[in-house]
Structure 1
Amino acid sequence: MCKDLGNLTSKLNELTFSLLLAGYKTCPQNWVKKGKKPFYHSFWFITKGSGEIIINGKKNELSPGKLIVFTPGMICDKKSSSSNPLEFYFIRFTHAGAIEKKEQWHFKQPQDIPFPLHGVYSIKNSSGVALLFDEINSLSKRRSSTIAFRQKILFQELLLTLIQDFHTQTFSKDTRQVIEETIDYIGHHYHQAITLTDLAKMADLSNSHFSRLFKKNTGYSPIEYLTHLRIDRAKELLAHSDIRVKEVSQNVGYEDELYFSRIFKKIVGVSPTQFSDEQKTLDQ
């Protein structure tokens, strides 16, 4: 199971995808494939039957609800039960890195940005995941730019569903609810003074335990999350209003205008004044 879900989500969010092939396979009796090395990344989602797969020497039993994530270079031995053959959906894809930071786009080739999932995973929401695989499979039998665009959207939805499934397995219902409640609180009170201790008390957890859970869930520490939310709101105000930087600073929870400006420039890459001037130029 994925231990750092916030980090996983961040890494997946930096990727763009191209789907190469999708389908559904029913294995014949005594189906065996040994020593195969995948050339592409691919997903298999088992819907029926039983079998086993050995990936780089590690054996895993296969049954309905298992997701296998293949990455290039893996050494795989696969075998289906003779009495209960495997059936599974599959999707083959490529990926590349595409992320915007401080209004600059950065790109990476597949070999420079490893896919963050690999191996065998157990899925709880089998019906939801199977439905998305089935929709992608159905679209693969048709061709048009609109169909290809829809496939990409469904693939992203599949990735999101997998992340949500991992969350369900990792966090108890009570823990998830506590984190969501603090996220909601930050969203409504970001303009007020909020400390880590305040949030931890709301969650009835120690500062350190709350911080670990929050970062696992979001990819940010609580204060990093608050800071980025404040800066996002400041960008909205600077782009679509004529209020002064000092007023923006106070509106998003910073009494010290100079401190706000330093934080803004660190995250956005330019000062609040420069950002405002650039946005107004674009609107002309």
Structure 2
Amino acid sequence: MIANEAYRQLKQMIYSLDTVRLETCRHNEPLILSSASSHRIGFVKNIKGTMEENGQRQLVEAGDVFFIKPKTSVSLRTEQDKELEVFFIEFSYWIEQSEKGRERVFVQGGDNFPLEGTFRVRSHSQVLHLMEELYQSFASHEEREQFRQRLLFERILYILVKDFSSIESNENTVASIEETILYVDQHYMLNLTLEMLAGKANVSPSYYSRMFKALKGVSFSDYMTSLRINRAKVLLQLSGSRLREVAQSVGYNDEFYFSKMFKKVVGLSPSEYVKTHMRQDNS
């Protein structure tokens, strides 16, 4: 099981906390985190925003946790008026390599960590409370507090492994996402959003986005566009179908935007596509 393997690896590790901080991201002012030599864990405290890592953008919101590998830079931004707040734990770890008699030998860990990616924490309030405690405790340099910091950090890791395992191994979650995909296939002409479908599947938008791409091979937005344009191609071949009617019937209220998307996907404008199809029929 995922949890058992993660617990086994974590049990062999010792940790050093480098920093614990609370970062804020203001409206349309990106928060840029430069690459670091340590591992980082981010926990979104409130509202929602977008995170970009290695050119890939994804939604994040309150309760989401994400793991950043060493030598990786990320940026966060929000379009909401309220400040986006994110806790960051920066740490290094050493893993037990072997035993020589009674002596335990540890070597510094590499870029990989038992947990990775982004997922929604089920125990949101519990993790938030522990993060706040760790953040407040980190300001102290007392020996007692440094010992407490390690305990808090390991408690956080324990909960994250438990929540990560319950999400990844939940077959009902995958089934729920597949049901929403069937819904998209039948209702692509409606104003569907990723957040709406994630809510139907009872998962976070970021997790839904990853699972959607894993199941269909493309992003949600590209999948929606493909469904709409393919249906539009059929309607355009029918005599008497006006451009505005076709656009609205497949979910585009703006016929000019529809034409732009059609040409982007097909390589021809709707009118050019109709002419090409007519020539093929007459030949």
TM-score norm. by structure 2 comes to: 0.54
Q: Is the 8 A contact 1:30 1:80 kept in 2?
A: yes
Give the number of the structure with larger relative contact order, counting CA–CA contacts within 8 Å between residues 6 or more apart: 1
Question: 1:120-174 CA deviation, whole Å, 9 max, x = no partner?
Answer: 121111011111111101111222111101100111111111112223334569x
Sequence identity (%): 22
Sort the Cα spacing of 1:16 and 1:63 in 2 relative to 1 into closer, same or farther, 3 A: same
2:108 match: 109
In the alignment, the residues of structure 1 paired with residue 142 and residue 14 of structure 2 have an alpha-carbon distance, to the nearest angstrom, of 19
1:160 match: 158
AA at the equivalent of 2:109: P
In the alignment, the residues of structure 2 paired with residue 35 and residue 153 of structure 1 have an alpha-carbon distance, to the nearest angstrom, of 26
In the alignment, the residues of structure 2 paired with residue 42 and residue 92 of structure 1 have an alpha-carbon distance, to the nearest angstrom, of 4
List alignment gaps of at least 5 residues for structure 2.
172-283
In the alignment, the residues of structure 1 paired with residue 32 and residue 132 of structure 2 have an alpha-carbon distance, to the nearest angstrom, of 28
2:3 corresponds, among 2, 5, 9, to 5
1:65 match: 63
In the alignment, the residues of structure 1 paired with residue 37 and residue 125 of structure 2 have an alpha-carbon distance, to the nearest angstrom, of 29
Sort the Cα spacing of 1:99 and 1:170 in 2 relative to 1 into closer, same or farther, 3 A: same
Question: 1:36-75 CA deviation, whole Å, 9 max, x = no partner?
Answer: 4233211111111211112223322010011021111224
2:228 match: none
1:220 match: none
1:150 corresponds, among 137, 148, 154, to 148
| 1:133-144 equivalence runs, <5 A | 133-144=131-142
2:14 match: 16
Q: Is the 8 A contact 2:43 2:87 kept in 1?
A: yes
Computed over aligned residues only, the root mean square deviation of the Cα atoms, in angstroms, reads 2.5
Partner SS for 1:39: coil
2:87 match: 89
Q: Is the 8 A contact 1:51 1:85 kept in 2?
A: no
In the alignment, the residues of structure 2 paired with residue 36 and residue 19 of structure 1 have an alpha-carbon distance, to the nearest angstrom, of 18
Q: Is the 8 A contact 1:65 1:126 kept in 2?
A: yes
Question: 1:74-108 CA deviation, whole Å, 9 max, x = no partner?
Answer: 24232222424311222111111136657551211
List alignment gaps of at least 5 residues for structure 1.
174-284
Q: Is the 8 A contact 2:26 2:83 kept in 1?
A: yes
In the alignment, the residues of structure 1 paired with residue 11 and residue 151 of structure 2 have an alpha-carbon distance, to the nearest angstrom, of 13
Sort the Cα spacing of 1:17 and 1:6 in 2 relative to 1 into closer, same or farther, 3 A: same
In the alignment, the residues of structure 2 paired with residue 83 and residue 38 of structure 1 have an alpha-carbon distance, to the nearest angstrom, of 29
In the alignment, the residues of structure 1 paired with residue 32 and residue 161 of structure 2 have an alpha-carbon distance, to the nearest angstrom, of 30
Number of residues of Structure 1 aligned to a counterpart in Structure 2: 170
